[in-house]
Amino acid sequence: MAGYKRPRCESESPADAEQSSGSVGAKKSKNANGETGSPKRKRPPRDRAEEQLLNRLDREQYEEVMKLLPNRFELAYREHYAREKFWDQFYSTEGPGTCPERRNQTLNSRVRKIVEERRKSCPWYFWGLEGYTRERFPKKWPHFYKDGDAGDASEDSQLLYPWDELNATTASSPATPKGADKTGLWDLPSSEMEKSIEDVKLQMAEIRTVLDEKEKKANELRKKTVAMVNELQRKTVTDCAKIEAEASEKVDEVRREAAALTNKIQTEADAKFNEIQTDVSKLEEAMKEKQTVLEVQEITPAARKANDSHGNQ
């Protein structure tokens, strides 16, 4: 087949544009070092460490936007504005001002709770963001596609913040699942789904082990508590009975002492009363005798006077 000359590209030397035979092959572009290779394009994170790095860089971008907004604006307005700018910078394919989040949109209580939880780790999140594919990454993002691996990228293979990831547990508790993709656990690819299923089963087994231990401890604590309460109740009944018996005996003793003292006082009082009554009786007899003598003595002078008067006549 006869050769032909084609126009020389800006990145080619004159020798590169010499005659070619056969089919025409596309010329690879050269990088800054003059080496051929595919153009560098930033790729999404592929593991948890990369995802954490991207999250940190995104936070820096978000905070830079927040710092530019005057404090005189209310916080809700500044946060919504920062989310719009974040969308324009990293998600939008149609230019600025196309953020799908509406201001003051109405969300039910369940969705509001989900949004609040997700904004703790990603403050630029809005309801529905997981349905969009990220287009760009921060300037400091160091990861790029290499030759031949760009075709492996798909929405299913991108982590890009697993929104449904559960909170990390304490060291004493089993780890929680961390394999959710950006559209949700149910949208994982088949290979990742199988691995996720196995991971979830293992995690459930770990949780079941811890749960059994906790239930065992709870049962032991419950039995111990019941035994302690029963023992305390028995001791209380015994102590009360003992105290009541001692109190009853003491009451009887006090009553006996009171009765004896009362009887003694009454006897002494009766003796005194009888003695006084005897004295009163004697005094009354003496009074009567004196009264009789007085009456006789009062009559005698009058009788004598009368006799004397009669004798002189």
* Sign of the alpha-carbon dihedral angle for 211, 212, 215, 216: negative
**The model's pTM:** 0.41
| Identity of the residue numbered 142 | P
* CA 268/CA 244 separation, integer angstroms: 35
pLDDT band at 231 (very low <50, low <70, confident <90, very high): very high
pLDDT reading at 268 higher than 70: yes
Q: 3-state SS string over 222-253?
A: HHHHHHHHHHHHHHHHHHHHHHHHHHHHHHHH
Share of the chain above pLDDT 90, in %: 27
Buried b (16+ CB within 10 A) or exposed e, 188-216: beeebbeebeeeeeebeeeeeeeeeeeee
How high does pLDDT run on average in the chain?
77
pLDDT reading at 294 higher than 90: no
Task: Give yes or no for a contact between 135 and 91, defined as CB atoms under 8 angstroms apart.
Answer: yes
pLDDT of the residue at 151: 53
- Per-residue pLDDT tens digits for 38-83: 467 899 988 888 888 999 999 999 999 999 888 888 898 899 999 9
pLDDT reading at 34 higher than 70: no
User: What is the pLDDT averaged over residues 269-297?
Assistant: 90
User: What is the pLDDT averaged over residues 237-255?
Assistant: 90
The residue ranking higher by pLDDT, 153 or 235, is: 235
* CA 21/CA 4 separation, integer angstroms: 8
- Per-residue pLDDT tens digits for 178-229: 443 433 445 445 666 676 677 778 878 888 888 888 889 899 999 999 999 9
* CA 130/CA 165 separation, integer angstroms: 13
Q: Is 91 exposed, middle or buried (0-12, 13-18, 19+ CB in 10 A)?
A: middle
- Per-residue pLDDT tens digits for 141-180: 999 988 766 555 554 455 556 554 534 333 333 444 444 3
* CA 100/CA 107 separation, integer angstroms: 15
pLDDT of the residue at 190: 62
- Per-residue pLDDT tens digits for 17-27: 544 444 444 44
pLDDT of the residue at 149: 65
Q: Count the Cβ atoms, other than its own, within 10 Å of residue 43.
A: 19
pLDDT of the residue at 140: 92
pLDDT reading at 98 higher than 60: yes
pLDDT reading at 271 higher than 50: yes
Q: Tell me the CA distances in angstroms from 144 to 42, 49, 87, 139, 268, one per residue in order.
A: 4, 15, 21, 12, 120
pLDDT of the residue at 184: 44
Share of the chain above pLDDT 70, in %: 71
pLDDT band at 7 (very low <50, low <70, confident <90, very high): low
The residue ranking higher by pLDDT, 136 or 158, is: 136
Token duo for residue 47 = 């593991």
